[in-house]
Amino acid sequence: MAETASESFTLVITGAPYSSQAPQTALGFAQAAVDAGHRIDRVFLYGDGVHLASALSAPPSDETHWPEAWSQFLTEHSIPGVACIASALRRGLVNETEQKRYELPASNLRAPFEIAGLGEWVEGRIKSTRTLYFHAGD
């Protein structure tokens, strides 16, 4: 394989697990990129993509657990995973801070994901050499 210059990536996932292929395709890309010596600066979940950060997903045991697979990958490679706060609040994905703020009965953000604003996406696209989008495709 020819030597290529090292790239840094911001990945944006807008498709939800189990209703789209987006999180799976993005993970396949991220693993290949890291294996090839490139860097993933951050993963930003937007729109329906925030469902990937749910701590309450419980797929059947013979199916891949995409939220868990992504959490392990992020932790293993110390990559920040950020769910857009506006997308997350609309869809019922909250951390303890937002649970308290909105007086909700529970929180369900899966570690190591964090909740933050679109500014994280803006900063990622400035910092990374490339920003890639993984959409639901419908």
Partner 1 sequence: MSTLIMIDQAPYGTWSGREALDMAFSLAAFDQAASLLFTGAGVNWLKKGQEAGGIGQKSVDKNLAAAPIFGIEAILADRAACRTYGLDENSLIGGVTQVDADAALLAAYDHTAFAG
Nearer to partner 1, 7 or 112 (CB): 7
DSSP character string of 50-113 = GGGGBTT----TTS--HHHHHHHHHHHTT--EEEEHHHHHHTT---HHHHHHTT-S---BPTT-
Q: Residues in the site for partner 1, rule: CB under 8 A? A: 12, 14-15, 46-48, 86-87, 90, 117-119, 121-123, 125-126, 131, 133, 135-136
**Catalytic annotation on 84?**
yes
Q: How far is the CB of 70 from partner 1 (least distance, A)?
A: 18
Residue 94 CA to residue 90 CA, distance in Å, equals 10
- If the CB atoms of residues 15 and 67 are measured against partner 1, the closer one turns out to be 15
Compute how many other C-beta atoms are within 10 angstroms of the C-beta atom of residue 96: 11
Q: How far apart are CB 126 and partner 1 at their closest, in Å?
A: 7
Q: How far is the CB of 118 from partner 1 (least distance, A)?
A: 4
